[in-house]
Amino acid sequence: MLTNRNIEILKIIVLEYLETWWVLWSKLLLQKYDLWVSSATVRNDMAKLEELELVYQPYNSAGRLPTSKWLRAFVNYLMEQTPEHLLQVKNDSKSWNIKNIWDFSSDISNNLAKNTSEIAFFIAPEKNIMNFSGTWNFLEKNHKRLWDSIFSIIKMLEEKENFIKFISNFPINPWINVFIWEENILPFLKDYTIIVKKLIIDWNVSYLGLIWSLKMNYSFNISAVNWIIK
């Protein structure tokens, strides 16, 4: 059983991870958050969370990072909330013109990338259409941390037919879908999250989504994909 303090520490660890990518030590946690307990108590709480596979130590004598198990629980929690809770920042309102699917695919991927600062994509498999946007921002933000692995993402996007097949083969439900870490099919995507929504446009299945590292604003990005088009 988790105590309220255990849950509070879990929330702090995942939010620090998403905002800073830092490993969070017990002393640093207490410096930033007033929990009214000792450093030893926080270490014991972290050890308990590690036993439950919700956090882990990346190396000996280090602080803790959230596991994919906890990130999945965190995302599930967000997705169960009301749209008003998820929508932290208001998206640009736009009236979409879907008379020309080619122009629409370009417009919506550009708009979604602009709103989220992530890589956005739109796919219409039946028409062999794929558009993506936001790669420059991705390269600029991630090249120092991900090094050469970032080129695997760019290569995947550039190989249009393979990427269409890749997304089409995902077990995607009619609502919003979030694939985290090892849930992604390709091994080199283990450090990434994919958010994707299935759309029906002109009686054909299409897909709209985002690709980014595990460190992303989940609440806003889930909302952005889910509500940019209804």
Q: With 50 as the cut, is the pLDDT of residue 86 above it? A: no
The DSSP call for residue 179 is E
27's tokens: 């002393």
CA distances from 77 to 7, 31, 182, 219 (A): 13, 27, 19, 10
193 three-state secondary structure: strand
What's the rounded mean pLDDT across residues 3-17?
80
pLDDT in tens, 150-167: 778 888 888 999 999 999
Confidence of residue 223 (pLDDT cuts 50, 70, 90): confident
Under a CB-based contact definition with an 8 Å cutoff, are residues 164 and 123 in contact?
yes
What's the rounded mean pLDDT across residues 41-46?
84
Confidence of residue 97 (pLDDT cuts 50, 70, 90): low
121's tokens: 């994509």
The DSSP call for residue 170 is S
Q: What is the reported pLDDT for 128?
A: 92
Q: What is the reported pLDDT for 149?
A: 67
pLDDT in tens, 100-153: 888 899 999 999 999 888 999 999 999 999 999 998 887 777 666 666 667 788
Q: Which helix (H) or strand (E) holds 142?
A: helix 135-146
